[in-house]
Amino acid sequence: MRVSKDIGQAELFRGVVALIEEADTIAICAHTSPDGDAIGSGLALAEIIRAAWPDKRVTNLLADKDPVPRIYRFLPRSDTFVHAADYDVTPDLFICVDLSQRSRLADAEEICARARRVAVFDHHPSGDRFWDAGVVRPDAAAAGVIISEFGLHSLGALTPTMAQNLLCAIVTDTGRFQYQNADSEAFETASMLVDAGASPAEVALNVYQSDRLAYVRLATRVLARIQVFAKGRIAYSFATAEDIARAGVTLDELDGLIDLVRCIEGTQVALFLKEVDGGKVRGNLRSKCDLDVSGVAREMGGGGHRAAAGFTAAGTVDEVLAIVLPKLRSLFDGTASNVAGAADGATPAAAPAADVRGASR
Ligand code: 5GP
Ligand code: MN
């Protein structure tokens, strides 16, 4: 089992441990629009550091001004987050969790810039290195896997509250162990966390069985307007600002809608768009096959993993669809040439995106 204390782990964590040991004040922050991995891994890391180095002053930061998403408020100590905009300390150490791209720190970017040292625990393919020490393992299913290993390395055993936060991180980032990243290490780590006191049922109850009716009503609209093209290999749907305002849901409640789009049989690539504040559209991209959607996300100004990536782009749903659908189609060029050129109706070239979506509004 990879989650064990051994010489390799000591080597892996040596740099971060040295930074923690020489710091008094430590700020921990994950990415903007935090998900279960961002929230759970950050909380667990803070608890691990407090347990292993009791004299450190550790603060969990939220990168944005929004509160902790409702479905993650059951997590232990989730009420202790401080908004980055309200944190005026210059920390000795700033630890990025579940991100290795500075721009995704939003309001916390300037705290990271003024911190004396910077560390990273992440599992995204990283860009320019801006940290002094860290562990970036794109093969890890979640940042929570790496933090679990760090906790075992630092403490020998995890508390039930650490375990609960970390199990939530792994369950959500693997889509309940259904995505391609659900490898044996994710299962082994989850098993260890359940042994340490984590409750899978409590994670499921709060994250997957606590939808508000308002959300479900909006979800039915999103389901009803799913479109497929490229011989069914690409599926997409969207929620407009008007849909969201009319339903009375918060943006973080919509994070699960991409999973509805990816459910269609034969679909290999799924896209969900939602109109957010400031005339922007947030996109979620998923691949159910070997095709890498992170390149399209990067071209759209975002990033992420091969099979799960995202972006934020200026414009309306119609405008962004018109740009992103041809890029998705081109993913199939070469790998499925009969698909790219197929006369299959609703191609963005054959029909403007506005027409494509108009029929299903
Ligand atoms: P989601 O679609 O759930 O928001 O994100 C899927 C994955 O892509 C996550 O691992 C997330 O961290 C990453 N991701 C989402 N949006 C962005 C973005 O704008 N930039 C980068 N670099 N990564 C993103
Ligand atoms: Mn993650």
User: How remote is the CA of residue 151 from the centroid of ligand 1, in Å?
Assistant: 25
Any ligand 1 atom below 6 A from CB of 34: no
pLDDT digits (tens, 9 = 90+) for 52-107: 999 999 999 999 999 999 999 999 999 999 999 999 999 999 999 999 899 999 99
**Both 197 and 260 in a single domain?**
no
Residues 109 and 200 in one domain: yes
Same-domain pairing of 198 and 241? no
Which tens digits make up the pLDDT trace of 142-200? 999 999 999 999 999 999 999 999 999 999 999 999 999 999 999 999 999 999 999 99
> What DSSP line would sit under 49-73, residue for residue?
HHHHSTT-EEEEEESSSSPPPGGGT
The reported pLDDT for the residue numbered 100 is 87
Examine residue 302 and state whether it is found in any structural domain, yes or no: yes
Number of structural domains (the chain) is 2
Model confidence at 343: pLDDT above 70: no
Nearest Cα to Cα of residue 330 among 358, 349, 313, 345? 349
Give pLDDT, residue 26.
99
Give 11's contacts (C-beta < 8 A, 6+ positions apart): none
What value does the mean pLDDT take over residues 231-240? 97
The pLDDT assigned to 334 comes to 58
Q: Tell whether 169 and 24 lie within a shared domain.
A: yes
In the predicted structure, residue 329 carries a pLDDT above the cut 70: yes
Same domain, 220 and 105: no
Same domain, 333 and 226: yes
pLDDT at 7: 60
Q: For residues 267 and 235, is the Cβ–Cβ distance under 8 A? A: yes
The pocket of ion ligand 2, defined by CB under 5 A, consists of 37, 98, 142-143, 173
Cα–Cα distance, 184 to 196 (Å, whole number): 18
> Considering only CA atoms, which of 29, 14, 19 is closest in space to residue 95?
29
Output phi, psi for 333, to 5 deg. Answer: -60, 130
- Does one domain contain both 296 and 183? no
- At residue 59, the pLDDT reads 99
Least confident of 202-211, 224-233, 237-246, 338-347: 338-347
pLDDT at position 6: 55
For residue 2, being part of any structural domain is answered with no
Residues 217 and 248 in one domain: yes
User: Which pLDDT does position 333 carry in this prediction?
Assistant: 81
Residue 312 CA: which ligand 1 atom is closest?
A: 19
Residue 135 pLDDT > 90, yes or no? yes
CATH number of domain containing 320: 3.10.310.30
Same domain for 295 and 266:
yes
**What is the pLDDT of the chain when averaged over all its residues?**
91
pLDDT band at 10 (very low <50, low <70, confident <90, very high): confident
Q: Is the pLDDT of residue 338 over 80?
A: no
Given a cut of 70, whether residue 356 has pLDDT beyond it is: no
Residue with tokens 């299962």: 187
* pLDDT for 313: 98
Nearest ligand, CA 170 = 2
Asked, for residue 1, whether it belongs to a domain, the answer is: no
Query: 179, 43 in Cβ contact below 8 A?
Result: no
Q: Does residue 124 contact residue 304 with C-beta atoms inside 8 Å?
A: yes
264 lines ligand 1 (CB under 6 A): no
Residue 34 has pLDDT above 50, yes or no: yes
Which ligand has the minimum distance to the alpha carbon of residue 101? Answer: 1
pLDDT at 3 over 50: no
Range of the domain at 346: 213-358
CB of 262 within 6 A of ligand 1: the answer is no
| Residues 158, 238 within the same domain | no
